[in-house]
Chains A and B, each alone.
Chain A
Amino acid sequence: MIAMSFEPKVPQKDLDYQELRIYTDEELQNPSDEELKSFKIKYDIPMLEDLESGPWPSFVADLKVEALRRRKLADDRLLINRDVVEDLLGQLEVSFEDGETHWKHGGIVGVNGYGGGVIGRYSDLPAKFPGVAHFHTVRLNQPASKFYKSAFLRGLADMWELRGSGIFNMHGSTGDIVLLGTFTEQLEPIFQESAHHLSNDIGGSGSNLRTPECCVGKARCEYALYDTQAMCYELTMHYQDELHRPMFPYKFKFKFDGCPNGCVASIARSDLSFIGAWRDNIRIDQDAVQGYIAGDFVPGGGSHRGRDWGKFDIQKEVIDRCPSGCMKYEDGVLSIDDANCVRCMHCINTMPRAVRPGTDTGISILCGAKAPILEGAQMATLIVPFMKAEPPYDNIKDAIDRIQEYWIEEGKNRERIGEMIQRIGLPRFLEACGLPPAPQHVWRPRENPYIFWKAEDVPGGFERDIDDYRKRHAR
């Protein structure tokens, strides 16, 4: 069989938990509910215990399970403070009482050769809570779209319980597997154990390329207009140096959404947002359209099943909601004026069995989203309307390199690329990227005439002679 482009190019080490494991079955046995109900941690935590009830999964109950587990493990089966989880809960309760955090500002720690991926954290109450005196975070680069085999997760859980707090974020906001809380001494061992045995590297932080993230894509979504996993993986590997070693003015994020529905929110939170697009015609299955009208198929893929919204009305629910008014349903036939379609996905989301995106697909590239710090939140601005996105993505790497090189040169310290674009103006940024301006770059043309004409734009340039002027105009 010929390997498809999305399959690994190099053989991946098979993971076998029985081979990887650190703890015995007996050690992994959780405490019983009876034990847990009567279990009191070292500190009084009445406010936190109030969060043990209610239907939603309780992180407090979960952390108590972990706290009691740690009490039962032998001394040499834990490499950091046994009380780390109890001390975390204790400090959290004190933070509630004080209405203030008890983590110190910053702290520079890391692993040799990398300038990111580890976040230093120290308690400001180390005498009271010695287990969290150091509470550093390690970000591990998650696999694309966050599918896992249990052998990997079990191995990770063993390694992290031994070498850290045993507490994770699955996942952090940028997408990493977050290992929450360990001491400085264990940072290198965690890094190398993950690399040697789980074949997994750490992620980005600081002024690095941050860990790229993608949607579920072709793995389980009919809307994926390009291979988000393959592209995310390829660019993550291609930019390893940028990911591990800070070389930018500030953080830089890539995110990959397979379609304009935007399940990883790339348009709101990535410096370069890659969103699937098509440029041919939407595929219509007229029989399936009739199926929706007849009530044979549930609209919206069943997303509104919980309430009786009445019989499906194609005019009201699809045609009238099309933002560009490019659809018609006449004489039992659905038609679309594709030249006027803005690919909002509404008709496709509402009648997925009848209406499908085109087959000439690629990506749109948008640039510059960020959170409010400092000059207000920004969404990403359309830079490239359409581009083919096929392995090995050389055209896209070239575009990225041009954009990043300009930002490295022009951006100020701690200035996100979106802020730089605001400062210098979109026209100059487009010029630097070698892109011609287009009406697609803006919602509407400018409303003021303050155009920054250059000398070379104007016949004769800017050099003029005042004496010559005065020959025509008295002072």
Chain B
Amino acid sequence: MGLSSTKFGAFDPENPTKNRITDIGPRHFWDFFPPIIQRNYGKWLYHEVLEPGVLVHVSETGEKVYTVRAGGMRIMSSAFMRDICDVADRHCDGYVRFTTRNNVEFLVDSFEKIEPLKKELETSKFFSGSLKFPVGGTGAGITNIVHTQGYIHCHTPATDASSMVKALMDDLFEYFQSMTLPAKLRVSMACCLNMCGAVHCSDIALLGYHRKPPIIDHEFLAKMCEIPTVIASCPKAAFSPSTTADGKKTVKLKEERCMFCGNCYTMCAALPLSDKEGDGVVVLAGGKLSNRISPPKFSKVIVPFLPNNFPRFPETCDVVKRIVEVYAANANKYERLGDWAERIGWEKFFEQCELPFTEHLIDDYRLQYDTYRTSTQFKYTDAAWAVSKAAGGLD
């Protein structure tokens, strides 16, 4: 029996429990494996990246599966999904896989099948000239940027996601299609600090952020929200109860306490934060989440604010590209961006990347103390001389 094209399909609004199917979970994964994957499940011996975007995995049975990885759009239409299926049907017996980072993987069971597949992927373009399936995203390069919804679907964003990622990937495209970096470099994007994703442990992270306290919708707040919940929502206890001139219950805000996290807006729609001038992009760097060589680590804030310059965010793209280039030129083989920054010292990172160090980058939230340098071990940079001068320690 096929999918229904009637208004309610398998659902009967008159009798909602009739033939109802619930709690069946996802499709079992096994049927979706290509036969070569079924035959070699758990038997893989080693793999190799043959060229950017092309992998071979060798099994103890002697079989080899070849994977061609194409950069994907996280947001895609049904039309594009059918394009993916067309490629899968023509080259891969109808099988296809998506990666955690929103790439699309086409698997073939012989070396000869790679070239025709690659050729189709590399020549498929949208009417506007953009590639549909750029091949790459493997090894010591930059793979797809994972991102969140932004203005496409979210009610709390401080920036847009799909547009920034498209602009960044256009600018970083050479690194997607090559493996010239000291180690892999993961870029991630989240449009507010709710962070639907692992942005906080990325080599480079872009984060949408607000800079103006919420506007209090005094006339409606008590109708829309529970005042104790609003007061409790603030991690800095910035709200206190108040009344309007005509006696309506509301809250007042100590603005100097606001850290712009937006948790109050999540709890109460009468406290919007978004603002054209206030909102923008924070850049973080130096995080990782694999356990290879060094343990996972958090990304650090290196640029406190860049404007939301739609649609291509030139300031953000420039900073990211600059960091990638300095890292590529200076880090050792296998050294992740954060490991490199720690080895040379963050003072040298700011000097080499020509990024200003401002007071915003010194932690003054609750967990501040363990970032303070309690040592005489440091390196001299211009920023250090500026402090010495300000202290009257230099001629």
Binding-face segment, A195-203, A393-401, A403-411: A195-203
CA distance A244 to B23 in the complex (A): 8
- Distance in Å from the Cβ of A75 to the closest Cβ of chain B? 12
Using Cβ atoms and an 8 Å threshold, which residues of chain B touch A374?
Answer: 235, 261, 263
Using Cβ atoms and an 8 Å threshold, which residues of chain A touch B166?
Answer: 51, 54, 56, 58-60
Known: A12-B30, A33-B127, A166-B79. A305 touches B22 (CB 8 A): no
Question: Does A344 contact B291, Cβ atoms closer than 8 Å?
Answer: yes
The residue in chain B whose Cβ has the minimal distance to the Cβ of A16 is B2
A-B interface, 5 closest residue pairs, ranked by CB to CB distance from nearest: A99-B276, A303-B139, A54-B170, A105-B269, A371-B195
Question: Does B235 contact A170, Cβ atoms closer than 8 Å?
Answer: no
CA distance A410 to B245 in the complex (A): 41
CA distance A79 to B3 in the complex (A): 14
Q: Is B75 engaged at the interface, CB distance under 8 Å to the other chain?
A: yes
Known: A65-B77, A169-B75, A379-B298. A154 touches B31 (CB 8 A): no
The residue in chain A whose Cβ has the minimal distance to the Cβ of B274 is A100
Question: Does B16 contact A112, Cβ atoms closer than 8 Å?
Answer: yes
Q: Is B338 engaged at the interface, CB distance under 8 Å to the other chain?
A: no
CA distance A224 to B43 in the complex (A): 10
The residue in chain A whose Cβ has the minimal distance to the Cβ of B278 is A99
Using Cβ atoms and an 8 Å threshold, which residues of chain A touch B272?
Answer: 105
The residue in chain B whose Cβ has the minimal distance to the Cβ of A79 is B7
Q: Is A63 engaged at the interface, CB distance under 8 Å to the other chain?
A: yes
CA distance A224 to B57 in the complex (A): 13
Please report which residues of chain A, range 320-355, place their CB below 8 angstroms from some CB of chain B when the two chains form the complex. 321, 323, 342-346, 349-350, 352-353
CA distance A15 to B131 in the complex (A): 31
Q: Is B203 engaged at the interface, CB distance under 8 Å to the other chain?
A: no
Question: Does B49 contact A305, Cβ atoms closer than 8 Å?
Answer: yes
Using Cβ atoms and an 8 Å threshold, which residues of chain A touch B48?
Answer: 298, 301-302
- Distance in Å from the Cβ of A401 to the closest Cβ of chain B? 18
Q: Is B366 engaged at the interface, CB distance under 8 Å to the other chain?
A: yes
- Distance in Å from the Cβ of B45 to the closest Cβ of chain A? 6
A-B contact pairs, 14 of them (CB 8 A): A6-B30, A8-B31, A79-B7, A99-B277, A137-B153, A153-B84, A188-B8, A220-B37, A240-B25, A306-B141, A307-B140, A371-B193, A371-B200, A372-B261
- Distance in Å from the Cβ of B128 to the closest Cβ of chain A? 4
Number of A-B contacts (CB under 8 A): 486
CA distance A66 to B156 in the complex (A): 27
Question: Does A148 contact B32, Cβ atoms closer than 8 Å?
Answer: yes
Using Cβ atoms and an 8 Å threshold, which residues of chain A touch B47?
Answer: 221-222, 301, 352
Which secondary structure characterizes the binding site on chain B?
Answer: loop
The residue in chain A whose Cβ has the minimal distance to the Cβ of B299 is A377
Please report which residues of chain B, range 65-105, place their CB below 8 angstroms from some CB of chain A when the two chains form the complex. 65, 67, 71-82, 84-85, 88-89, 94-100, 102
Question: Does B292 contact A346, Cβ atoms closer than 8 Å?
Answer: yes
Question: Does A59 contact B30, Cβ atoms closer than 8 Å?
Answer: no
Using Cβ atoms and an 8 Å threshold, which residues of chain B touch A280?
Answer: none
Question: Does A62 contact B263, Cβ atoms closer than 8 Å?
Answer: no
Using Cβ atoms and an 8 Å threshold, which residues of chain A touch B195?
Answer: 371-373, 377
Question: Does B25 contact A236, Cβ atoms closer than 8 Å?
Answer: yes
Using Cβ atoms and an 8 Å threshold, which residues of chain A touch B184?
Answer: 303
Which of B102, B141, B269, B292 gathers the greatest number of chain A CB atoms within 10 Å?
B292
Using Cβ atoms and an 8 Å threshold, which residues of chain A touch B34?
Answer: 147
Please report which residues of chain B, range 1-16, place their CB below 8 angstroms from some CB of chain A when the two chains form the complex. 1-5, 7-11, 13, 16
0 or 1 for each of B15-44: is its CB under 8 Å from A? (1 = yes): 010011111111111111110010001101
Question: Does A170 contact B279, Cβ atoms closer than 8 Å?
Answer: no
Using Cβ atoms and an 8 Å threshold, which residues of chain A touch B78?
Answer: 66, 69, 157-158, 160-161, 166-168
Known: A170-B98, A220-B44. A58 touches B31 (CB 8 A): no
Which of B4, B5, B16, B198 gathers the greatest number of chain A CB atoms within 10 Å?
B198
Question: Does B126 contact A61, Cβ atoms closer than 8 Å?
Answer: yes
Question: Does B49 contact A149, Cβ atoms closer than 8 Å?
Answer: no
Using Cβ atoms and an 8 Å threshold, which residues of chain B touch A300?
Answer: 139-140, 334
Question: Does A303 contact B140, Cβ atoms closer than 8 Å?
Answer: yes
Please report which residues of chain A, range 276-331, place their CB below 8 angstroms from some CB of chain B when the two chains form the complex. 298, 300-307, 309, 317, 321, 323
Which of B85, B167, B179, B334 gathers the greatest number of chain A CB atoms within 10 Å?
B334
Using Cβ atoms and an 8 Å threshold, which residues of chain A touch B28?
Answer: 8, 12, 143, 233
Q: Is A19 engaged at the interface, CB distance under 8 Å to the other chain?
A: yes
Binding-face segment, B112-120, B305-313, B350-358, B372-380: B305-313
The residue in chain B whose Cβ has the minimal distance to the Cβ of A119 is B153
